[in-house]
Amino acid sequence: MTSRIKAVIPAAGLGTRFLPATKAMPKEMLPVVDKPAIQYVVEEAVGAGIDDILVILGRNKNNISNHFDAVPELETNLTNKGDLHRLLRVKESSDLADIHYVRQGEPRGLGHAVLRARAHVGDSTFAVLLGDDLIDERDALLTTMIAANERTGLTVIALMEVDPDHIHMYGAAAVEATDDPDIVRVTGLVEKPPKEDAPSNYAVIGRYVLNANVFDILDRTQPGKGGEIQLTDALQELALTEGVLGVVFRGRRYDTGDRLDYIKAIVQLAADREDLGPDLRPWLKEFAANL
């Protein structure tokens, strides 16, 4: 089913946690097994029925747009060699969806990046998927969030319970239960709080279904934590006024902008794959036994 909503993928951050790999390449292009992280995110949006995607680009913008473009000389080369399997894989990334691009001139924060989508999105509800945050395709999240928005008309964010020692790396939500164990009412949000100030261990993760009124709020949101325009601050205003819902995600998620999580993502996804898993799994067991 095709969704009426558009997706926005911010990919203009500096990726400092991954330097020097991200000096000349956005972290969203780091390969996870054999596809860049952002391709998984585009595929997730397409899987949720979205066929119009806007990517917010920073410096090194060509890397990302080139990846989703067709490369005729590569296709001819693979066709001539009769390598149809790889030809299909190469063509897949350029046939995925209608992908548009806009530039964020300066990395002034996630809120500022989302505001750059205003002209493309207009007055409609839209989804935001962070380009370095992978949700395992076997675990539903975005479709549940879109359904909750369609049912209630409210802005919906994704939450995940994390170890309290890690909450300072996320936006943290104060929540109230609803009749649905997977959905909470968000009563407050704070960006990257110290453990002792966190309202809960519910962390905001990189999926949002936002109503277009968030643009007016972002437009007047002042720089917050880290001197950046924070999406969390705009969502806090929405939580205090019209209300925000949180979908609690209990599935597999990988933050590929974090080096340790990136390594775990590759190992876990490769171990589960039919082409690599049968060789990798016994090797991993032996490796782990000798640690």
* Interacting residues toward ligand UTP by CB under 6 A: 10-18, 56, 104, 107-110, 112-113, 130-132, 257
Q: CA-based diameter of the chain, in Å? A: 62
93 vs 104 by CB, closer to ligand UTP: 104
In DSSP terms, which residues pair with 134 in a beta bridge? 254
> Which residues touch 85 (CB under 8 Å, ≥6 apart)?
none
Q: 183 or 234: whose CB is closer to ligand UTP?
A: 234
Complete DSSP assignment for 66-132: HHHS--HHHHHHHHHHT-HHHHHHHHHHHSSSEEEEEE-SS---HHHHHHTTHHHHTTS-EEEE-TT
Smallest gap from residue 57 Cβ to ligand UTP (A): 8
Task: Report the nearest approach of ligand UTP to the CB of residue 126 (Å).
Answer: 15
Which residue's C-beta sits nearest to ligand UTP? 13
Both tokens of 26, joined, read 């956005």
Gyration radius (Cα) of the chain, Å = 19
Please identify, using beta-carbon distances, which residue of 80 and 222 lies nearer to ligand UTP: 222
Q: Is 122 exposed, middle or buried (0-12, 13-18, 19+ CB in 10 A)?
A: exposed
**Helix, strand, or coil (residue 280):** helix
For residue 137, the tally of other CB atoms under 10 A from its CB is: 13
Q: What's the closest the beta carbon of residue 246 comes to ligand UTP, in angstroms?
A: 18
Provide, rounded to whole angstroms, the least separation between the CB of residue 47 and ligand UTP: 19
- By beta-carbon proximity to ligand UTP, the closer residue of 145 and 183 is 145
CA distance 237 to 206: 19
The CB-of-109 to ligand UTP minimum distance in angstroms stands at: 5
What residues contact residue 122 under an 8 Å CB cut-off, 6+ apart? 212
- Minimum distance between the CB of residue 104 and ligand UTP, rounded to whole angstroms? 5
Beta carbon nearer to ligand UTP, 112 or 149:
112
Question: Cβ 97 to ligand UTP, closest distance in Å?
Answer: 18
- Cβ closest to ligand UTP, residue 183 vs residue 233: 233
Nearer to ligand UTP, 78 or 236 (CB): 236
* Tokens encoding 241: 């006024």
Q: Residue for token digits 């409210």?
A: 154
